[in-house]
Amino acid sequence: MEKLSYLILSGVTNGSVYGLIGLSLSIIYGSSRVINFAQGDFVMLGALSAIMFVTTFNLPWFIAIPGVIGVVMLTALALNYGVYRPMVRRKAPPLTIMMGTLGASIMIYGIGLLVWGPDQKFVPALLSLKPLIVGPLITNPQQLAIIATFAAFLVLTWYILYRTRFGLSIRATGVDPKVALLMGIRSERIVLFSFLFSATVSGIAGVLVGPLLGGQIGMGLMLIVKGFLAAILGGLGSPFAAAAGGIAIGMMEALMAGYGTSLYAEPAIFMLILLVLFVRPYGLLGDYEAERR
């Protein structure tokens, strides 16, 4: 029982991170029809620039966190103006644009390699990692913070999408960029916002999950794949379905590693997702995509 609750908690924690990446991917996909391959690298940048600000420069958290957000936002700006927008203007097909974001991801990795080196690093924890006993559960404040942040970003995304005029334009752009343009919605601005917002979400996820996973420049790769799997498991068309997919993947991973062996956890998840893709090509919760065809 104790093991199970421990596993569930750690599954939900990791799942929150996958879910946040899935949500980020879904937001960008919704506005631009492009999968941003560099999304996992924003998580990496969040974790490693937290080390830079807190450990190396010895800055307090209230300066470090805006600093981290600044780093990921600058990167998102570079990605939007340096890769996405020029490629769209050259009428590159979506897969080629994804190759472009992959190139950008490799560049971010390369810069990370120059700045932080290839080794795994200890990321300072924002909150305490000391065990905290809540009823039958053993957790720690950092874990709880991750789950709380996950919930907070879900609510924020929902609020922006469904309760603001701007959110309405985002959804309109997602349905049909050309019609949205006719309605006077500048889709380029929407895409820029998607990049900035999702970079912030992923960067903060990186700050929080860094102490648990350890910071390493290659971490973005596994995270983008799991975030993407989360998104397709839930359904790429809806940020919330994608986030739910993340929790599901985190749980499966934790349970399989806990009761089986971690050697088989990843292949098993992979098989499961393939299975889902064949039965429901647009995700367990999504019918958005299917409608479009």
Partner 1 sequence: MPLATKRASVWPVVAVLALGVALPFLLSGGFQLRIAMLIWIFAILSMGFNLLYGYTGQISMGQQGFYAVGAYAFALLQIKLGLSPVLAFAGAVAICAVLGLIVAYPLLRLRTHYLAMATLGFGLILNGVANRWIDFTGGTAGLTVPPLTWGGEALGRTGIYYVVLAIAGVVFLLHDFIARSHVGRALQAIRDDETAAAALGVPVRRYKLRIFVLAAAIAAVAGCCFSVVSLRVDPSLGEFHILVSMLTIAVVGGLGTRFGPLIGAAIVTILPQLLLQFGAAETLIYGAFIVLFLLFIPHGLAGLVENVRWTRKSAAPARTAATNVLEVKG
- Residues β-bridged to residue 249: none
Q: Phi first, then psi: what are they for 196, rounded to 5°?
A: -65, -45
Task: In angstroms, give the least distance from the CB of 114 to partner 1.
Answer: 6
Q: Which is nearer to partner 1, 130 or 178 (CB)?
A: 178
Q: 26: closest CA among 222, 286, 280, 205?
A: 286
Question: Distance between CA 147 and CA 142 in Å, rounded?
Answer: 9
Among 19, 22, 40, 100, binds partner 1 (CB under 8 A): 100
Nearby residues of 81 by Cβ (< 8 Å), 6 or more positions away: none
| CB distance 22 to 243 below 8 Å | yes
If you ran DSSP here, which 8-state letter would residue 121 be given?
B
Token pair in block for residue 211:
């102490």
Closer by beta carbon to partner 1, 35 or else 199: 35
User: In whole angstroms, what is the distance from residue 281 CA to residue 205 CA?
Assistant: 28
Binding mask 25-54 for partner 1 (x = CB under 8 A): ----------x-------------------
Q: Count of residues binding partner 1 (CB under 8 A)?
A: 42
Q: Does 197 bind partner 1 (CB under 8 A)?
A: no
Check residue 272 for interaction with partner 1 (CB under 8 A): no
| Member of 106, 148, 152, 179 binding partner 1 (CB under 8 A) | 106
Q: What are phi and psi of 73, to 5 degrees?
A: -70, -40
Near partner 1 in 127-186, by CB under 8 A = none
209 binds partner 1 (CB under 8 A): no
Q: Is there a contact between 15 and 246 (Cβ–Cβ < 8 Å)?
A: yes
Q: For residue 94, what are its two tokens?
A: 């979506």
Q: Distance between CA 99 and CA 90 in Å, rounded?
A: 14
Could you tell me which stretch among 43-51, 185-193, 205-213, 223-231 binds partner 1 (CB under 8 A)?
Answer: 223-231
Q: Which stretch binds partner 1 (CB under 8 A): 47-55, 119-127, 247-255, 261-269?
A: 261-269
- Shortest CB 188 distance to partner 1, Å: 17
Residues that bind partner 1 (CB under 8 A): 35, 82-83, 86-87, 90, 92, 94-96, 98-100, 102-111, 113-114, 218, 221-222, 225, 228-229, 232, 262-263, 266-267, 270, 273-274, 277-278, 281
